[in-house]
Every structure is written in C-alpha cells, then in structure tokens.
Amino acid sequence: MPRAGDVSPASGTETLHVFACHACAQTSLPVAIGGRGRHAVIINTEGSFPVRRMRTMAFAVWAGMGAGERAACEAAGMSRDDLWSHHLVLDAHGADDLERACRGVISAARRPGHGGRVAGAVLIDSVAAPFRVRDPDEAGGAAKAASTERRWYGVRARALLGMAGRLRELAEECGVPVVVTNQATAVVAGDDAAFEDAAPALGMAWAHAAHVRVILRRRRAVADARRRMLQLVFHPAAAPGACECVLGERGLRDAGED
C-alpha cells in the first residue's frame, strides 16, 4: 500500500533539497529497476525549487547506471533528461496554497480514466514552512498578541491535522505515494556526541500522521562532510534502525557505494 512518509533532516535546508531531488529522480526510473516509471508532483514551500540541482543530480544518476539499468531505461523510452525535466513543480506560499495544491492532485487522481497515473509520487518540500509562521496579529502589540494567541495556534493546529488527512487520502485512496520533508530544531548535545541532534518540527500531532518516519543526521568531526546517518524512527512493518550513507551528486547512497 502506498504510504505517507516524513523525512526530518537534522542538517539543514540543503539536505532537504538534495533529498527532494533524489526522490524525484528515483520516481522517474522504470519499474524494472526500482522506480515507478512516472513523473513526480513537487509542492514547494521553501522559496524557489533548485531545478539546476535536480538536473545535475539526474545527470549523475544516469552516469552512474550500469549497462543493464541503462538498457532498461532505453527499453522504456527514457532518456537522461526524463529523470528531471518532466516533473510538475507547484509553488505554495502558505497553508491555504498547500491545501489547494493537494486538493488539485486528489481531484486529478480521481478523474475518470486518469486514476493513479497522475503522478508516480507527490513530494512536499517542506510541510513545516507554511505552519511555522508567527501570528500576523502580533504586530498589533503584546496585549493584542496575548488575546489572540490561543485562537491563532488552534486554527493552525486544525489546518495541520486537516493537511495530514488530505495526504493520507492521497496515499491510501488514490494510490499515490507521498514523501514529505520536515524541518528540524537543533538540540544541544554533548561535545562527545557522534551525530548532530535535532527535534523534528510540528510536534507529536504531526509525528503520528506519517506512516513512516525517517531522520537524517550529520556525523560530527569526520573528514568526509557528506556522510550522514539515516535513522528509521517508525515503520509499521519494521523495527527502528539506522545505517550510514553518503549525500553526494547522485543523492543518498550507501556509504560503501560512493
């Protein structure tokens, strides 16, 4: 069953974008070599989406393919440019834009004759940005902010839970996998900690909304700054675990492959 998954990088916005580009390239690959053979819909909330980085990563993925993988792509009528140029990027400048974009994808997926072919996956980069904003009424002064704070955060919480419901609907009823990147807040750790620590944004309400939760952590004090720890926090059919990987031109790779 398609799942709604949450990725929380503990190493900054750069990691968010690289992971997003990697997910798009993998979605484009033929089913025979582990992809979905379709384009991705990217809902971008973090300013301008790094299209140039996506192009560079797609070219690196293509260059790193073996003869069998490239033959499978060519048999499916896929070229190097198909790994990056056919994705649909939608900009969302707030929670309302994000809601409309999700409704549009759901509507297209349910259109007669269209079905789940609307996209190989939906990627939101990131879900936290529209909700980690200050109350606009705070500009009116401390007294006004105090009187509206509870109402403001209540409205934001309801909007976030409504968004979680939309994404579950997209994944479970429409058959479209959803990958969501999240932001994180730094947590002070001891100097002897091997990895940078962070707490995912949006709290426990969002933590329970995702079927699968993954955190990317940066390793401290190593010569190779690309090394990360990929930590599986929650999966309905797997125990928590972790592995080391490298965040390079070809996206996330096993530490022994790059």
Q: Token match 């939608």: residue?
A: 90
The pLDDT of residue 71: 93
CA pair distance 100, 81, nearest whole angstrom = 29
Mean per-residue pLDDT pooled into runs of 10, the chain (258 residues): 52 61 85 88 84 85 90 91 87 88 85 62 86 62 55 78 87 86 73 64 80 80 73 88 81 71
CA distance 245 to 230: 7
Q: Please tell me the total count of domains within the chain.
A: 1
Residue 109: inside a domain: yes
Its pTM stands at: 0.77
pLDDT value at position 189? Answer: 61
> Is 181 among the domain residues?
yes
Q: How high is the pLDDT of residue 10?
A: 47
Chain centroid to CA 2: how far?
A: 15
The answer to the question of residue 39 being in a domain is yes
Per-residue pLDDT, 1? 38
Q: Are 41 and 122 in contact (CB under 8 A)?
A: yes
Look at strands 198-200 and 212-218 and give their pairing.
Answer: unpaired
Predicted confidence at residue 140, as pLDDT, reads: 52
- Does 218 fall in a domain? no
Other Cβ atoms less than 10 A from the Cβ of 250: the count is 21
Compute CA distances 2 → 55, 80, 111, 131, whole Å. Answer: 27, 27, 19, 25
Q: What is the pLDDT of residue 68?
A: 93
What's the pLDDT at 116? 44
Task: Give CA torsion, residues 7, 245, 236, 198, to 10 deg.
Answer: -40
C-alpha to C-alpha distance for 219 and 242, rounded to whole angstroms = 13
Residue 173: CB atoms within 10 Å: 12
> Does residue 250 fall inside a structural domain?
no
- pLDDT (0 to 100) of residue 11: 44
The answer to whether the peptide bond before residue 11 is cis (omega within 30 degrees of 0) is no
Q: Are 128 and 202 in contact (CB under 8 A)?
A: yes
Q: Please give the Cα distance from 103 to 167 (Å, whole number).
A: 9
90 located within any domain:
yes
* 202 belongs to a structural domain: no
Domain that holds residue 162: 8-186
Residue 16 forms part of a structural domain: yes
CATH of the domain at 32: 3.40.50.300
Name the residue among 127, 148, 124 with its Cα closest to residue 136: 148
Residue with tokens 């022994």: 256
